[in-house]
Amino acid sequence: MGRQRRWGVWWRRFGQIVFYVVAGVLTVAIAALLVASLIDLGQPRVWGTFTQMGCEDRPRAGCRPFGTWISDDGAIIEQHVYLNGWTDSTGRTRAGFQPTALLGDNVVNVPVLTGGMPVLLSIMLVWWTAVVLRRAASWGDIVLPRSRWLGGRGGPARRQGALGIRGSFRRQHRRALERGMIKDE
């Protein structure tokens, strides 16, 4: 029985190490995408009109609009670009194009979504970091401060009762009876 328990502990620890490696790679990837999207914010943006020519099916549902984008001055014409956003009933919308972008040089964005990628990736990075830290704390590899936000009790620690039992006097009395510390009369 001892050998099985040792193997179980070994496999559990191996799984934790694999999780840490995958989590580290994923954290670096999200951070790299965040840096690239922040760099893209500084790239020049040219405004124009997107005209939808068709829609590619997405794996989960709906479709991804593609079409032609023409700059306002007519100097730049991009064929078969994707639209992040939506069109009106005529299939046209105003959109911004970044020819020197690191991420998505074949994608145009509606004005509302032009700066959305850094915000989304920042939220995702904070969330993922919290998930990894909570998992590491649950395995006992790190110690996190206890707070209501992290799932703890929050506030000052509650004092134990006179018999070393937390809770109300009734609960303390009941537990003391169970433990045989006092006798019921």
What residues in the chain have per-residue pLDDT under 50? none
What per-residue confidence (pLDDT) applies to 88? 87
Handedness of CA 87, 34, 121, 116 (dihedral sign): negative
Give the domain range for residue 25: 2-40+119-138
> Does residue 154 fall inside a structural domain?
no
Residue type, 44: P
What per-residue confidence (pLDDT) applies to 105? 79
Is there a single domain that holds both residue 77 and residue 97? yes
> Does residue 152 fall inside a structural domain?
no
pTM: 0.66
Is there a single domain that holds both residue 54 and residue 108? yes
Backbone φ, ψ for residue 53 (5° rounding) = -105, -25
Is there a single domain that holds both residue 54 and residue 94? yes
Is there a single domain that holds both residue 54 and residue 104? yes
Is there a single domain that holds both residue 125 and residue 165? no
Is there a single domain that holds both residue 109 and residue 123? no
Is there a single domain that holds both residue 33 and residue 89? no
Is there a single domain that holds both residue 16 and residue 62? no
